[in-house]
């Protein structure tokens, strides 16, 4: 179960890794205006992060912009957002793996040059994909530690640079308006500087594993924004002081920060800062080795995060019938989506990396990212309009009210920034335009053919693929266990874990916090702490069995409705309700049920079991089966 520190740290692992390659590519285009580029990018990062905070709290499910578009518009809009995300993950894998050998060149110099950087990057991708096929889990605790180390190191470089090469006048002398850089280069650099947006989707995709989304998700985005501004508004300025703009022999302006190796540091910009902040001797050598190792480690984790992300989004897309079902099939023995990993996580990233064109990788990332984030912003605007009277657990600010609608000013600004950045990339970069539109056209053609010819379902209709129950799989692959303050949680969890342990089924533990009508939906209540303790207890029981569990604290006006909604959302095949010992009447033999249990029994889309504590060892340890109705998706 994740709180706001874990969420923000995991996301900063993605954001922090981007500075190791985005800084050099941006400087090659923006020259002396590089610090200004990151300020502009930071403003749009702020507005779009507010969009993601509200959207993720409203729909705490994996998918990010794809999920927002599904609820705001239809499946076509959702597909384009998801396909843009897929391109982001593909490029993240490619560009992160490509930069790893450049930072490891502190140990072996040829890794900075072709073809060794491409060969090493290809080997890294293949090894990580193989590890994911054979099964490797993302270590959240390791991500947190590395994110803290990463942020601390970048802050240390700012402090060292500020004390040794701080010359504010040099920043002004770096700029030659309209000449160095040209305005076209400046406008093109802004979307590349927005590569830090990667972390926005990371938090959204972890929303289902968050204890209290209305509280933890906005806090996580707030912490992430603080970290981004602390580094992105300072480190680029230090970099341009350490590696200022100057004329070359041909009379053209350039900075070594944006030059290709071996003469510049475009492919390892942070090492370039270390080498030019005024350190010497042993201290310089030690810091270069430390930064090289840390950067390589962070980029390896970013590569693996891209691999995991691409497999998740492909699984989600095939689950919603956007791409063929083959991409969600798991290996019979390894239980991993091996075909998806080979196709999206290995083949495409390696093909993109082979030319070794860093600028092309950066603009391709921006093409997909800006499209996806523009859809996220416009989706939130549409949601505010469609559900103008909806009671929200979290509503981002600032807003302005017009004709009965609280229009999100932040999303409008974010839409303008991301759409303008996408247009800038599309208009100026012909190779990116051709490759990007080819990606979109090929994906949409696959979407149309698969839906119209194979499945024969409307393009805009949201349809979920049925669960594939194979002979060696358990009857229940998706289990929902509600927990209540007054019930024996251990009884229900033991039953659920026994059902799930052998077949690696997924258990969603739902703690429904009923908020009285007199209170706002996001109000803090005394019962919240107790429900959090019960979620921890449920996680401990699941860990004992070695079962995967998804804890969820849901704020609602009706616990019964919340449980049914969770069962529908996760396509549960059984709901296991913890219940007190039934007291049977001698004549009616009926079991007294409370309002929540009764509502779940009437409305649940799947089988419902009541887990009750036996009064003696002679009684069966299995739950009382109240309803035997097959799952709606079977």
- Asked whether residue 452 is domain-assigned, the answer is no
Cα separation, 235 vs 151, in Å, equals 11
Residue 367 is predicted with a pLDDT of 92
Task: Give the model's pLDDT for residue 633.
Answer: 34
Question: Cα–Cα distance between 272 and 266 in angstroms, integer?
Answer: 8
Across the range 322-332, mean pLDDT stands at: 84
- pLDDT above 70 (res 50): yes
pLDDT of residue 591: 44
> Has residue 250 been placed in a domain?
no
> Across residues 433-449, what is the average pLDDT?
95
Measured CA to CA, the distance from residue 490 to residue 431 in angstroms comes to 59
Range of the domain at 34: 4-100+125-149+182-235+297-445
Q: What pTM was estimated for this model as a whole?
A: 0.78
Check whether 592 has a pLDDT greater than 70: no
At residue 143 the predicted structure's pLDDT band, cuts being 50, 70 and 90, is low
What whole-number percentage of the chain has pLDDT above 70?
90
Which are the contacts of 608, defined by CB distance < 8 A and separation ≥ 6?
A: 574, 575, 577, 600, 601, 626, 627
Domain-embedded: residue 247:
no
CA 134 to chain centre: 23
**Looking at the domain assignment, is residue 39 inside a domain?**
yes
Residues 187 and 58 in one domain: yes
Please, what is the average pLDDT of the chain? 84
User: Domain boundary at 404, 429, 445, which?
Assistant: 445
pLDDT for 581 equals 52
CB-side neighbour CA atoms (13 Å) of 1? 24
Spatial contact of 98 and 90, defined as CB atoms under 8 Å apart: no
Give the pLDDT score at 414.
94
Query: What residues pair up with 478 in beta bridges, in sequence order?
Result: 506
Residue 437 has pLDDT above 90, yes or no: yes
* One domain for residues 545 and 396: no
Does pLDDT of 521 surpass 90?
A: no
| Chain center to CA of 221 | 12
Classified as helix, coil or strand, 457 is coil
Lowest mean pLDDT among 10-14, 228-232, 505-509, 534-538: 10-14
422 and 557 assigned to the same domain? no
Highest mean pLDDT among 238-252, 494-508, 613-627: 238-252
Instruction: For residue 193, give every residue at least 6 positions away whose Cβ sits within 8 Å of its Cβ, in sequence order, or none.
Output: 22, 26, 30, 37, 38, 40, 41, 232
Give a yes or no: residue 28 inside a domain.
yes
Question: Per-residue pLDDT averaged across 5-14, rounded?
Answer: 77
Percentage of the chain exceeding pLDDT 90: 34
List C-alpha distances in Å: 310 to 90, 289, 341.
7, 31, 8
Residue that wins the pLDDT comparison between 605 and 144: 605
In a 13 Å sphere around the CA of 181, the CA atoms on its Cβ side amount to 22
Q: What's the token pair of residue 167?
A: 């010359």
Q: Do residues 465 and 325 make contact, with C-beta atoms less than 8 angstroms apart?
A: yes
Do 424 and 502 fall within a single domain? Answer: no
**pLDDT bracket for residue 401 (50, 70, 90):** very high
**Residue 523 resides in a domain:** yes
Q: Is the pLDDT of residue 486 over 80?
A: no
- Give the CA count within 13 Å in the CB-facing half-sphere of 132: 29
pLDDT given at position 383 = 95
The verdict on residue 582 lying in a domain is yes
Residue 583 has pLDDT above 60, yes or no: no
422/497 same-domain check: no
Contacts of 430 (CB under 8 A, 6+ apart): none
pLDDT band for position 196 (cuts 50, 70, 90): low
Residue 199: the pLDDT is 73
Identify the CATH number of the domain in which residue 322 sits: 1.20.1740.10
State the pLDDT confidence band at 147, using cuts at 50, 70 and 90. confident
Q: Is 90 exceeded by the pLDDT of residue 545?
A: no
Strand 478-483 versus strand 253-254 pairing type: unpaired
Copy the structure tokens of residue 5: 């520190």
* Residue 498's pLDDT band (cuts 50, 70, 90): confident
Same domain, yes or no: 437 and 496: no
- Cα distance between residue 308 and residue 502, in whole Å: 24
Q: Which strands form 607-612's sheet, in the order they lie side by side? A: 548-556, 506-514, 478-483, 574-579, 607-612, 624-627
Q: Among the three residues 426, 445, 464, which one is the final residue of a domain in this structure?
A: 445
Closest CA to 4 of 227, 309, 294: 227
Distance CA 82, CA 317 (A): 7
Domain shared by 426 and 327, yes or no: yes
Highest mean predicted confidence (pLDDT) among 316-325, 405-414, 482-491 = 405-414
Each residue's pLDDT tens digit, 606-619: 888 888 765 544 44
* pLDDT surpasses 50 at 585: no
Between residues 250 and 104, the one the model is more confident about = 104
Same domain membership, residue 484 and residue 434? no
CATH for 500: 3.40.50.620
The pLDDT of residue 526 is above 60: yes
Whether residue 112 contacts residue 105, with contact meaning beta carbons closer than 8 Å, is answered with yes
- Same-domain status, 434 and 555: no
SS3 category, 402: strand
Q: Which residues, in sequence order, are bridge partners of residue 507?
A: 479, 549
Is residue 534 within 8 Å of residue 578, measured between CB atoms?
no
Note whether residue 166 is domain-resident: no
- Classified as helix, coil or strand, 205 is helix
Regarding whether 521 and 579 lie in a shared domain, the answer is: yes
> Given pLDDT bands bounded at 50, 70 and 90, which one contains residue 140?
low
Last residue of a domain, one of 445, 470, 495: 445
**Whether residue 482 sits in one domain with residue 440:** no
Q: Which residue has the higher pLDDT, 469 or 265?
A: 265
Q: Which of 469, 475, 532 is nearest to 499 (CA)?
A: 475
Which pLDDT score, from 0 to 100, does residue 628 have? 39
Residue 150, sorted as left (phi over 0), alpha (psi -120 to 50) or beta, turns out to be alpha
Domain count, the chain: 2
- Alpha carbon of residue 345 to chain centroid: 16
**Same domain, yes or no, for 426 and 571?**
no
Q: Which whole number is the average pLDDT over 408-427?
A: 94
Q: Which pLDDT value is given to residue 614?
A: 59
For residue 481, the cross-strand partners are 509
CA torsion 538-539-542-547 (nearest 10°) is 140
pLDDT of residue 580: 60
pLDDT, residue 629, reads 38
H-run or E-run covering 399 = strand 399-402
Q: Annotate 109-128 with DSSP letters as a single string.
A: GGGGSTTHHHHHHHHHHHHH
């Amino acid at each position: 179960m994740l709180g706001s520190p874990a969420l923000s740290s995991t996301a900063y692992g993605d954001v922090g890794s981007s500075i190791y390659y985005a800084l050099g590519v941006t400087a090659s285009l923006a020259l002396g205006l590089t610090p200004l580029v990151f300020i502009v990018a930071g403003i749009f990062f702020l507005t779009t992060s507010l969009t993601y905070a509200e959207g993720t709290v409203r729909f705490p499910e994996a998918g990010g912009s794809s999920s927002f578009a599904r609820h705001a518009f239809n499946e076509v809009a959702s597909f384009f957002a998801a396909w843009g995300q897929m391109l982001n993950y593909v490029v993240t894998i490619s560009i992160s793996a490509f930069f790893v050998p450049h930072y490891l060149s502190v140990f072996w110099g040829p890794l900075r040059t072709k073809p060794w950087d491409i060969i090493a990057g290809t080997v890294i991708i293949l090894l990580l994909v193989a590890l994911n096929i054979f099964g490797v889990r993302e270590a959240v605790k390791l991500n947190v530690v590395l994110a803290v180390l990463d942020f601390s190191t970048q802050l240390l470089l700012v402090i060292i640079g500020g004390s040794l090469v701080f010359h504010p006048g040099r920043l002004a002398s770096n700029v030659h308006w309209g000449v160095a850089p040209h305005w076209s280069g400046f406008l093109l650099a802004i979307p590349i500087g927005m590569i830090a947006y990667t972390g926005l989707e990371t938090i959204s995709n972890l929303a289902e594993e968050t204890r209290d989304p209305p509280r933890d998700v906005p806090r996580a985005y707030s912490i992430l924004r603080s970290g981004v501004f602390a580094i992105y508004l300072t480190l680029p300025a230090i970099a341009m002081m350490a590696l200022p703009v100057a004329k070359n022999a041909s009379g053209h302006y350039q900075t070594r920060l944006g030059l290709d190796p071996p003469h510049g540091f475009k492919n390892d910009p942070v090492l370039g800062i270390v080498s030019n902040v005024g350190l010497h001797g042993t201290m310089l050598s030690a810091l270069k080795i430390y930064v090289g190792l840390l950067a390589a480690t962070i980029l390896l984790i970013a590569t693996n995060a891209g691999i995991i992300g691409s497999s998740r989004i492909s699984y989600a897309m095939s689950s919603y019938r956007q791409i063929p079902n083959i991409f969600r099939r798991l290996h019979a023995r390894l239980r991993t989506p091996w075909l998806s990993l080979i196709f999206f996580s290995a083949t495409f990233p390696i093909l993109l990396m082979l030319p070794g064109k860093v600028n092309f990788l950066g603009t391709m990332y921006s093409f997909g990212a800006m499209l996806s984030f523009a859809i996220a912003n416009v989706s939130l605007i549409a949601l505010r309009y469609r559900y103008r009277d909806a009671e929200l657990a979290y509503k981002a600010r600032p807003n302005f009210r017009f004709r009965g609608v609280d229009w999100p000013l932040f999303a409008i600004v974010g839409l303008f920034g991301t759409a303008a950045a996408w247009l800038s990339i599309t208009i100026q970069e012909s190779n990116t335009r051709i490759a990007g539109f080819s990606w979109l056209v090929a994906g949409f053609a696959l979407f149309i053919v698969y839906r119209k010819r194979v499945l024969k379902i409307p393009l805009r209709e949201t349809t979920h693929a049925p669960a594939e129950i194979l002979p060696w799989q358990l009857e229940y692959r998706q289990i929902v266990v509600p927990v209540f303050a007054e019930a024996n949680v251990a009884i229900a969890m033991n039953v659920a874990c026994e059902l799930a342990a052998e077949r690696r089924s997924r258990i969603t533990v739902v703690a429904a916090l009923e908020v009285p009508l007199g209170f706002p939906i996001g109000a803090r209540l005394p019962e919240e702490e107790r429900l959090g303790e019960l979620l921890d207890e449920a996680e401990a029981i699941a860990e004992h069995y070695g079962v995967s569990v998804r804890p969820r604290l849901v704020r609602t006006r009706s616990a019964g409705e919340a449980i049914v909604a969770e069962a529908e959302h996760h396509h549960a095949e059984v709901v296991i309700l913890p219940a007190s010992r039934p007291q049977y009447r001698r004549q009616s033999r009926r079991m007294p049920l409370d309002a929540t249990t009764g509502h779940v029994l009437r409305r649940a889309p799947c089988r419902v079991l009541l887990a009750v504590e036996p009064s003696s060892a002679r009684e069966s340890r299995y739950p009382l089966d109240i309803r035997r109705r097959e799952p709606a998706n079977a």
